[in-house]
Every structure is written in structure tokens, then in C-alpha cells.
Amino acid sequence: MTGFRKPTGEFIRIVLSLLVIAAAIAVLVGITDSLTRGKIAENQKKTFIEAQERLFAGAEFTLVKEIEGDVRSIYLANGTNDADDGDENVALGYAVNVTVTGRNGDIELMVGIDVDGAVKKVIVLSSQENAAGANIRGDAFLDQFIGKTIGVALGGGENDVEAVTTGTISSKAVVKGVGAALDAVRQLGDETQDDSDDSIDGIPVQPEQLLPSDDPSITGGDAA
């Protein structure tokens, strides 16, 4: 019967070398993953701020509320309103960040809502929708939401929008997201209306009546 052969020094050196190489690879993968995540987060923040700027050019955006659900956050936009003789630091509306589920995954939206509670603009921040569903990014679909108010739906009514061709599921997801944004702003108005006289149809328009002084804020950068 052959006895157990003791590993040679060469064998041990090979094993140790492989272990060192494996550890080095693991460290490099971790560093690469960390850098990639950081870059992705940076790009997402840039896209987020640029979208806010597209909704309300030159405005300052103040975080009003973070929410669990389809609506993730609501920002109040303050700036110069030409309709008010160029008055500065007036409320222009809200930028609402929404995430809903489409056919192929999450669809992230930025919905601009004016102080009258109507949609100003809808921007698709990210989407995994393909084929016909990808057309939800197009102006032909998104511009239909401009001026819509609570109760927006797919259909042919005055407050309805038409789905993109063969992209009904994706279209319904966007409609749901816009509706959630409108509802969230309306609810925000209901929560503050009793304590504020400066509101339009229950929608608060003065940031100092909504926020403590230490709330974070984001200022829009250059237009996208």
C-alpha cells in the first residue's frame, strides 16, 4: 500500500501563489465595482438635476418630502416668474420623482407640476422598455400629459392620453406614475392647507411654510 506523500516545497509555493493571485483579483474586482457604482450614482444625480432644470429652468429646488412607494421624492421649485412681473423667489411648481413598473422593469420619471396642480412636463429618466414600449420616451406620447390634472387615464376623454401603439402596458405604467405624482402634490397641499393661507386650490406655494430651516436643497445646473 502506497503511503501518503508529503507535499513538496514547489507544490506549496504554487498553491500559495494561486491564493495570492485569487486574493488580488478579488480586491481588484471590489475596487472596480466600487468605482463603477460611484460613477453610476454620479451620472444618475447629474441626470436628475438636469431633468429638474428642464422642468423649471433656473429654479432652486428644495426637497419637500421623501415617500415610500411609487412617488420617491417631491421638490419645490422656486425662481423668477415672468408672469408675475419678474418677481424673484416665487413658487413655480413641483418636480416629483416617480418609479413605476413597466413591461420589462422599472420606469423612472420626473414629473413637473405647476402651482395650479396641472402637469407642466414629463421626463423619462430611465427605462428598460424595448420594442414599441420604448416609444414612451417620445414627445408625441409625453406631451399629451401637459395640462392634465388628477384623474388622468388612457382613453379619449378630455383628461385622457392615448397609449403608444402596441405599447399599452408601458403606457399604463407612465399614466400610473403621472397620476401618482399629481395625487402626491395634492395630498401635500391637503396636509398644509389648514396652516397656510398662501395656497392655490389647496397646493402650498410658500416653501417657508412647508420646511424646517435645515432641510436639504438641490439647485438646478445648466440646461440639458
What pLDDT does residue 216 have?
39
Provide the number of structural domains found in the chain.
1
In a domain, 37, yes or no: no
Q: Domain range spanning residue 107? A: 44-211
What pLDDT does residue 129 have?
92
pLDDT along the chain (224 residues), means of 10: 64 84 85 67 75 90 88 91 68 94 94 94 93 91 94 88 92 95 88 55 44 38 36
In a domain, 55, yes or no: yes
In a domain, 106, yes or no: yes
In a domain, 129, yes or no: yes
In a domain, 96, yes or no: yes
In a domain, 166, yes or no: yes
In a domain, 167, yes or no: yes
What pLDDT does residue 123 have?
95
In a domain, 22, yes or no: no
What pLDDT does residue 32 have?
75
121 close to 101: Cβ distance less than 8 angstroms: no
What pLDDT does residue 200 have?
44
